[in-house]
Chains A and B, each alone.
Chain A
C-alpha cells in the first residue's frame, strides 16, 4: 500500500507528560485507516498533528515523498481537514459554516460555492438545511453538518475524531455510510480516531492500535480482531468473556468448564485456568438445533433485546449470559422476543483465549 503520509518517530509532550511516544505510522493512500484506542491514548493528538493544528515535539512527517518542515503547518492544512469530536460552529447559518472554507479559496465563484454546499449537505442527508442556524440543530445533525463542511473542501486527507460518539444509531449509520461512500467514490484518504472497536472493524481497512501514546500494533482487521489480542482486551469492553478450567481432548482441542451446566469447546489447547472470549457476531442464532460442524451448541432463553440501528443485540441466558448480534430483519422473521427459546451455535475456532 502506497503511503500518502508517514509519521516517523513522533513524540508529543505536554509539560512532563508524553502524549505520544515514538509513533511510527503510514497513512495509506485512498484507504480508511483507524486509530483505535481508549481515551487519552493519543488519537486526537495524532490527528491534530496531521491536520497541522499542533506540532510534534520530536519526529518527522512526510507527505508523499516530501518532508514537512517543523513550522510548516500551512502545507498540512492545505492537504487535510479535521472533523472534531465536539461539533464547533460559527454562530451563523449552516450555509455560512460550510461556505467558510470555500470562500477562502478565491478561485470559486458564488455559484460554485452554492453547488458545493448543496452537494455536501446532500451527502449527509441534510438537503435544504442551508438557512438553518447551525447551533440550533440537534447533536446528530450538527455532526453531519461538520462532516459536510469538511467534505465540501474536497481535501485529499479527511481526518475524523470520534465522529459518532454519543450519537443515536440513525445518525451513526448516516455518518458511517457517508465516510465509506466518500472513500469508495472519491478515493479520499481517511483517518478515523475511535474507541469503538466495532466501528473500527466495520469500516476500516487498516487499524493502528494505540495505547498510552504508543502504537502497539498496526494491521488489517483480520490481524487485529481475528485472533487473541492482549492489547485490544486491555481497553476494550469485551462481551462473552468466560473463565473456567480447561481440559485437553484427544482431538487436540480443549473443553472449558465454565460452570456445571456449560462447557465450551475451543480449538486451542491450553489446560488449566483460562479466560476465553467469543465475539457476538461469531454466534449463530436459530429456532432449532443446527446440524453443522460447529462444536458448541447451547439452548437458551432471550432475556434482553437492544436496538443498535440496523442490528439487534440479544442477551441470551444459556447457563451464562451470551451477547449475540443479528439483523433486525432476522429478528422479525424468526419472531424472536424476550422469553423466546433459541439455540446458539459457534465453532471451536471462534473461541479465543485471552
Chain B
C-alpha cells in the first residue's frame, strides 16, 4: 500500500541555549503526497528550525519526523536522497560556475545533469546562457533559480523551500510558483515552503500559521479565511496619513492596517460602523469612505500575529 503521507511529524520539539529559547514546542502535522504545504509565520516563529530538522541537518530534542516513511534521525542518509532543500540563505558555491554547481550536486547524489534535465528544463534554460558565470556573481533572481535547480537535480520526492522568493520581484515570483505547480502536477513532487508573501500562501493546498514555536492553525486558505470572525471595514479618506494616526489613537479601534489603497479596520467590542463614521467626521474626515471588507489571508495572519507582538519582551 502506498504511503499516503510524505511527511509525518509528531510532537516535534527543539530548544536552543540550554532550553532558554524554545524554537519548536511539540509541533505535529502531516503533509500528503503531492501536497503544497505552506509555513507562514513571523521571524523567529520556528520555521527554519522545522526545515532544518526535516532536512536532517538538526536533531530534534524530542518527537519524531518521518519523510516518505523514513525516520529523519536514524535513516538520515536515505532521507537525504528523497529531499531537495533550498535554505533561506544562498548556500551554493560562490566560486564555482552555474554549471559546476549543478554538476556537483548531481554527482553528490550519483546522477548527472543529463539524467534529470527534464525536471529543471524550464528554469535551467533561463540561466543556461550564464552557465560559465560564477554563482557568486549572479543576481538575486538567478541565484534563486540555480538553487532550485540544484535542489531538484537528484529527483527528490519532497522539496523543502525556506523563503525561496524573499527579495524576488513579482514577475519572477509568479514564474517560480508556476514552476512549483508544474513539478507537483507532472512529477508528483510534494512541497513544503515558507513565505512572507500572502499571495503565495493563498496558492498552497494547506497552510500552517506559526508563532512562537507552535502551530496556531492548520487549514486550507479558504478554511482559514472562513474562520475569521471579526467584522472588517475598509476605510479611506483624502488625508490618508492623518487617517491612520487618527484611527490608531481612537479607543474604538482594535486594529488598523494599511491594505493597498485603503486601511482595514476592526473595532473594539461595543463599537459599530456608525461610531467609526462619527469619530472620523469629528476628526475632520468628512469625506471618509467606509465599507465592509472581505478578509484575506493577510488579515487572518495579522489578527493572529497581533497578539504575539503584544507579548514581545519590552
Answer yes or no: do A and B interact. Answer: no
